[in-house]
A and B are shown apart, each in its own frame.
Chain A
Amino acid sequence: MSSGRTLYDKIWDGHAVAPLSGDDWLLYIDRHLIHEVTSPQAFAGLKQASRQVRRPELTLAVADHNVPTIRRKLGVAGIADRESRAQVEALERNVIEFGIPYVPLIHRQQGIVHVIGPELGFTLPGMTVVCGDSHTSTHGAFGALAFGIGTSEVEHVFATQTLVQSHAKNMRIQVNGALGTGVTAKDLILAIIGQIGTAGATGHVVEYCGEAIARLDMAGRMTVCNMSIEAGARAGLIAPDEKTFEWLKGRPLVPQGEAFVEACSRWRRLRSDPDARFDREVVIEGPEIAPMVSWGTSPEAVTAIDGRVPDPKEASDAGRRAQIARMLDYMDLRPGQPLAGIPIDQVFIGSCTNARIEDLRAAAAIAREGHVSPGVRALVVPGSGMVKQAAEAEGLDQIFLDAGFDWRDAGCSMCLGMNEDRLNPGQRCASTSNRNFEGRQGPGGRTHLMSPAMAAAAAIAGKIVDVRTFGV
């Protein structure tokens, strides 16, 4: 008796081209996003072997990781750093040579790959989506199988429009009930990673379901899927529903009219069968989740805002004890210290996790209540030019500027510290990004991950605070 298939199984089956050796299959790729940092070596490999890009029309290029968030009007010429400029120029040469659709730096639709892909309707339900960037999992919010790949794989997709893959295991994370007031998708995914750990989903594709997931808007679903990689998952997925279709309707690359209606009826079938078997299941109670803040240098090192920094002495084994001690040393925190009240130097509201219009609205709602604390530098970096435009149309830019925040152009910015937006050694940052690794936001920098509203509240208070008790 065969059991039903999961959503992941169905997308896999629909894209399996041919078996290879062992567990490996050739999997067809519908959508390939590329950017300036992980593509140049792939193009070089392609040229060296005199190969072509098989399906440039299924590919989309944008520069986002290593671009400045100021002087954007100057385009590539405005990139002061010589190496960074050379990288973007290489991308521009390569997209012309291989005929790949490209969103130029000065274009109003430029932005972070994982923000503009969905925004343009490049990502559609049921598709396979890859990019030389681990947070490609973001696109799973639309019921697409989306995952990050290395540069050799980028070259493989260029040449063959396929990838060598083995079928991952299935995992389901069900989130019951509704999230409380002031608790967001970011808090939910941080709580999940805190519970299952950074390797908790290694080898698995995670499908998120349950009431709390159904209630999330598309931005929230993208935030959840985005950080699946931080739990080690190959990909994160959410079955598409009417909210998904409503969000997609009318976007530039989405089928229009009759074709859209037809597509929706196909997309409605994209769900796991009721008798589908998951290799691993986790159930989370949504109402029990509080706003979360990370205290260490791994995304699993999180606790509720009313919690305390752990004491290594209380760890279960020697390895864990050493790990916590090392993290506290790097973060300059004391065992048992309350999270609330830790003073901060910088605030970063941005990244593919939390730089959509919904995130900026949540941050602005807090920003309008006060002014950035003296001595704190606070950056707001919209996820895309479209997000920036929408925010300006709503007057959010003015709210941020009046409150003493910097208002920048779209890009990855301080998420990974490749451009000049970074932390100085020893500086502490309240950040809406996804990684708090040592040095991620600049050598010696200390990152506390949290939601946009929590980060905005930290900017104003000058320290980490509970947004639920913050002035509003």
Chain B
Amino acid sequence: MTGVAAPLPIANVDTDQIVPGRFLKGTTRDGLGKVLLAPLRYDPDGREQQDFILNREPWRQAKILVTLDNFGCGSSREHAAWALADFGIRTVLAPSFADIFYNNAFKNGLLPAKLEAGAVERLLALAGNPATCLLKVDLEAGEVTAATGETFPFDVPAEKREALLSGLDEIGRSLKLEPAIAEFETRHLPGVPPIPNGKF
């Protein structure tokens, strides 16, 4: 996958920044791209902040986000992953991610790739320049390549990579283990009191 990379040189970008609480009132996964990073993208009256990276060309078309440590910390809202994906972001490059966001990303075809801090520094610089902001992300090779020819290896667990490449239906796969689940339940459920429906 090749695309424009946008630099977001902020650490601890939390899910309240990615999608603020007031935009969580929907009942579908769609349409959150326009509120992605709303506090940074828009002023209090809802007008675009001219100087914010995603409001400028060519980064309006960004498919890659380069950012700092602990991206996606905070709430478990999968809306964060939905908003990134809906905007068109396919890969987030960062030194580290918060656990829940990391999991949520894979489930939405979004690659959270971990790189060394030094590599991220360099990628931020490349992404910030319109002449060098086009990056190639090769999931199979586990490598980001810049137009300058520089390459940066990234880390992604093998099973997560496979899942992304094959578009795995995780629930479908788990349901194939139905016999194991049922067998586990015969041993386990006698110790787990059921909740009567209609009690409240």
Contact A202 B96 (CB under 8 A): yes
Contact B107 A153 (CB under 8 A): yes
Question: Which secondary structure dominates where chain A touches chain B?
Answer: loop
Chain B nearest CB from A54 CB (Å) reads 8
Chain B 73-84 per-residue mask, 1 if CB under 8 angstroms from chain A, else 0: 111111001000
Select B11's contact among A232, A323, A440, beta carbons within 8 Å: A323
Residues of A close to B141: CB separation below 8 A: none
- Interface residues on chain B, size class: 35 or more
Given A202-B98, A440-B21, are A107 and B200 neighbors across the interface (CB < 8 Å)?
Answer: yes
Contact B171 A66 (CB under 8 A): no
Given A28-B184, A41-B28, A133-B76, are A101 and B199 neighbors across the interface (CB < 8 Å)?
Answer: yes
A282 within 8 Å of B (CB atoms): no
Contact A122 B195 (CB under 8 A): yes
Residues of B close to A370: CB separation below 8 A: none
Contact A151 B78 (CB under 8 A): yes
Contact A44 B28 (CB under 8 A): yes
Contact B44 A41 (CB under 8 A): no
A118 within 8 Å of B (CB atoms): no
Given A49-B171, A149-B100, A232-B98, are A26 and B181 neighbors across the interface (CB < 8 Å)?
Answer: yes
Report the Cα distance A369→B73, complex, angstroms.
39
Contact A198 B28 (CB under 8 A): no
Report the Cα distance A30→B190, complex, angstroms.
11
Residues of B close to A444: CB separation below 8 A: 44
Contact A199 B76 (CB under 8 A): no
Listed stretches B55-63, B125-133, B144-152, B157-165; interface member: B157-165
Measuring CB to CB, which residues of chain A are less than 8 angstroms from any residue of chain B? 14-15, 17-18, 20-24, 26, 28, 30, 37-38, 40-41, 44, 49, 51, 54, 56-60, 65-66, 81, 83-84, 86-87, 90, 99-104, 107, 109, 122, 124, 127, 132-134, 136, 148-153, 155-156, 159-162, 164, 198-199, 202-203, 232, 234, 252-253, 255, 266, 298, 319, 323, 326, 416-418, 425, 435, 437-440, 443-444
Measuring CB to CB, which residues of chain B are less than 8 angstroms from any residue of chain A? 10-12, 14, 16-17, 20-22, 24-29, 39, 44, 68-70, 73-78, 81, 96, 98-100, 103-104, 107-108, 157-159, 162, 170-171, 173-175, 177, 180-181, 184-185, 188, 191-200
A20-B159, A159-B175 are known contacts; what are 6 more A-B pairs with Cβ within 8 Å?
A40-B27, A40-B28, A101-B197, A133-B75, A232-B99, A443-B39
For this complex, 7 residue pairs linking A to B, each with C-beta atoms less than 8 Å apart, are A17-B177, A57-B195, A127-B192, A149-B103, A437-B74, A443-B20, A444-B44
**Closest 6 A-B residue pairs measured CB to CB?**
A22-B159, A40-B27, A150-B104, A57-B194, A152-B107, A150-B78
